[in-house]
Amino acid sequence: MLTLKQIKEQTEDVLRRLKKKHFEAREYIAEILNLDELRRSTQQELDAALARQNAIAKEIGALIKQGAKEQAEAIRTQVAELKSLSKSLEERKESAEAKIRELLLLIPNLPNEIVPEGSTAEDNVCVKMGGDSPALPEDALPHWELAKQYDLIDFELGVKITGAGFPVYKGYGARLQRALINFFLDNARHAGYTEVQPPYVVNEDSGYGTGQLPDKEGQMYHVGVDNLYLIPTAEVPVTNLYRDVILEEKDLPVRNTAYSACFRREAGSYGKDVRGLNRLHQFDKVEIVCIDTPARSYQRLDEMVAYVETLVTKLELPWRILRLSGGDMSFTSALTYDFEVFSAAQKRWLEVSSVSNFESYQANRLRLRYRSSDGVQLAHTLNGSALALPRIVAALLENNQTPEGIRIPEALRPYTGFDLIPHP
């Protein structure tokens, strides 16, 4: 979340930048500033009341030593009154602080100055492209037809067991999933990321820490009895490893990678855009997370984008990188780059990764700091998909279909153990 200091000292700049995200914050900020004034004035009254209590306590002690017990008892009632007043003031101050935090949680992160203006995905800016789109015959099949023909993925069986959006991978399909997970994890480790295996459920504090709560509460699966949430991405548990932690500057950057299943309730619509693997409620993903100083975080972002580029290149997929517009960015991001791969059979681009810098927004929620020669200050957090599997699998199946079968990219063959998924 934004800091109170930011809002107080840079009010107009905060309002201006939030407009790029199409968020009108003036009423929120006015209320926060009023509450902060109430908090500060209440603190002054509380300090004065506590000081008066201490002074009277000393006076009572002196009177008792002098044997003036009646005088001491006469002013003792003032202490009780001051204690009651102090309790009331403390409650008022805590109420103002809680309301300030509640309002701060509702305000999105400030977009970086280079974020493009715009309200939808149509306003995103393509910054780089690569790879060659295959020339497929007119009768090329989309991945959901290939999955059925080759018996790779059973969407109907998933509906029977759980519901729509929970596919069952079988045979070569299951082996391809496992191969991709290991491929992505090995590449991340070789790039300097430390592998961790996090839980798949988190508590409320973790959800608030990375910004999924309260913003995306309706998109998360909630285990009501235990008040836990199924993770929408490994970003949540991995970043929360550092909640309430003070890191040493010499230990930065911290780089982690993790595989997890991901669970999202986001409602789908109908049609080809959400058919098959295009939109799921459960899917596999490898995540990369980085923590560094504010001075170096945008260098880390560039490195992470360059790293994800190596993955889509190794998989021989046509790709492009988009800088997201203000209206298409997430609540918590300051700057996001999306990776898309081209599906030659569907003739459309499929998003497979988002790489974002959150600056100090998550760190402030997490109380994630680092210690330097200048003292203790908030760190910057970053993360990215490296990569999400469903649309990668969709593009691999569609773009590599041949009369003999589905060809496996060379870099992936040591992980699959086969070069071709043979035609049935």
The pLDDT of residue 270 is 47
Question: Is 182 annotated as ligand-binding?
Answer: no
The pLDDT of residue 269 is 45
> How does DSSP assign 178-227, residue by residue?
HHHHHHHHHHHHHTTPEE----SEE-HHHHHHHT-TTTTGGGS-EETTTT
Question: Is 369 annotated as ligand-binding?
Answer: no
Question: Is 354 annotated as ligand-binding?
Answer: yes
HSE-CB for 48 with a 13 A CA cutoff? 8
Q: Which fold has domain 4-104?
A: Helix Hairpins (1.10.287)
Local structure of 297: helix, strand or coil: helix
| pTM given for the model | 0.92
Instruction: Give yes or no for a contact between 7 and 33, defined as CB atoms under 8 angstroms apart.
Output: yes
The pLDDT of residue 70 is 74
CB burial of residue 323 (10 Å; 0-12, 13-18, 19+): buried
Domain ranges of the chain: 4-104, 121-422
Q: For the structural domain made of 121-422, what CATH number should be given?
A: 3.30.930.10
What string of pLDDT tens digits covers the 424 residues of the chain?
999 999 999 999 999 999 999 999 999 999 999 999 999 999 999 999 999 988 988 888 888 788 887 777 777 778 888 899 999 999 999 999 999 999 999 999 999 999 999 999 999 999 999 999 999 999 999 999 999 999 999 999 999 999 999 999 999 999 999 999 999 999 999 999 999 999 999 999 999 999 999 988 889 999 999 999 999 999 999 999 999 999 999 999 999 999 999 999 975 444 556 899 999 999 999 999 999 999 999 999 999 999 999 999 999 999 999 999 999 999 999 999 999 999 999 999 999 999 999 999 999 999 999 999 999 999 999 999 999 999 999 999 999 999 999 999 999 999 999 999 999 8
The pLDDT of residue 6 is 95
What's the token pair of residue 165? 């959006």
Question: Is 343 annotated as ligand-binding?
Answer: no
Question: Is 287 annotated as ligand-binding?
Answer: yes
Identify the bridge partners of residue 335 per DSSP, sorted by sequence position. Answer: 357
Question: Is 264 annotated as ligand-binding?
Answer: yes
**CA distance to 27, 68, 174, per residue, from 349 (Å):** 39, 88, 24
The pLDDT of residue 284 is 98
Instruction: Give yes or no for a contact between 173 and 152, defined as CB atoms under 8 angstroms apart.
Output: yes
Residues 6+ apart with CB under 8 A from 21: 108, 111, 326, 327, 329
Identify the bridge partners of residue 383 per DSSP, sorted by sequence position. Answer: 289, 356
**CA distance to 2, 227, 293, 326, per residue, from 110 (Å):** 8, 30, 18, 10
Local structure of 322: helix, strand or coil: strand
Report the distance separating Cα 146 and Cα 152, nearest Å. 8
Amino acid code (one letter) for 273: D
For 358-419, strand residue ranges (E) read 369-372, 375-378, 380-388, 405-407
Question: Is 266 annotated as ligand-binding?
Answer: yes
Question: Is 40 annotated as ligand-binding?
Answer: no
Strands 369-372 and 246-248: parallel
Question: Is 223 annotated as ligand-binding?
Answer: no
C-beta neighbour count of 156 within 10 angstroms: 11
pLDDT in tens, 1-49: 999 999 999 999 999 999 999 999 999 999 999 999 999 999 999 999 9
